[in-house]
Chains A and B, each alone.
Chain A
Amino acid sequence: EAGVAQSPRYKIIEKRQSVAFWCNPISGHATLYWYQQILGQGPKLLIQFQNNGVVDDSQLPKDRFSAERLKGVDSTLKIQPAKLEDSAVYLCASSLSTSGSIAKTQYFGPGTRLLVL
């Protein structure tokens, strides 16, 4: 079974530029998550999708970050314009579902390492 795929693996940009990350979840997984992991910190949830709908985006800086999952499969996360403090690893994860009484375990991709200069 293929895991969660992410690209690119590394990205270096200058501040005020824009950048986009792509994620393809495990086949059949309805729930997709984007996390931001700053060096020395644990991952912080940015946004959660259930199919193509947003379930939780309370910690997404909406003035500069956006994400979409138009067909309920793969997803893109965009930053525009980027700031120095956006330097981090962006992790994508997927799970079968979070609905009902069973919270399914999340499977993580390798992440995209972003450096903003």
Chain B
Amino acid sequence: KQEVTQIPAALSVPEGENLVLNCSFTDSAIYNLQWFRQDPGKGLTSLLLIQSSQREQTSGRLNASLDKSSGRSTLYIAASQPGDSATYLCAVRARSGGSNYKLTFGKGTLLTVNP
């Protein structure tokens, strides 16, 4: 059974700091890995998706890396801003039977960026 762990559970940083969020998964037979952002009272917004054959993806100030063999991913946020404050969720997509795929989520990291 796939398990996804995110460390730390919560993080508070001053504005402008670079930071790293960590995600690990127990079964390396994944199709892809996705990082989401969740704001209070809202749904999930996809930030970055890394295919299993890729090593990293970048979007603006965000960079996500994937080391499939070791079961690890990191989300790097450069020059953090108060608007980055949210919960960041890591999810892995793997085959769940036949041609179907299933997302398994971690518990998330609650990020607070202080002005």
Q: Which residues of A are at the interface with B, using a C-beta cutoff of 8 A?
A: 4, 40-45, 48, 50, 55-56, 91, 93, 98-100, 103, 105-111, 113
Residues of B within 8 A of A45 (CB): 102-103
Q: Which of A43, A98, A110 contacts B101 (CB 8 A)?
A: A98
- Inter-chain residue pair count (beta carbon < 8 A): 57
CB closest residue in chain B, given A58? B96
CA distance A4 to B31 in the complex (A): 24
Q: Which of B38-46, B55-63, B77-85 contacts A (4 or more CB under 8 A)?
A: B38-46
CA distance A50 to B100 in the complex (A): 10
CA distance A111 to B43 in the complex (A): 6
CA distance A44 to B45 in the complex (A): 16
Which range contains the number of B residues in contact with the other chain? 20 to 34
Q: Which residues of B are at the interface with A, using a C-beta cutoff of 8 A?
A: 4, 31-32, 34, 36, 41-46, 49, 89, 91, 93, 96-97, 99-103, 105-108
Contact B93 A103 (CB under 8 A): yes
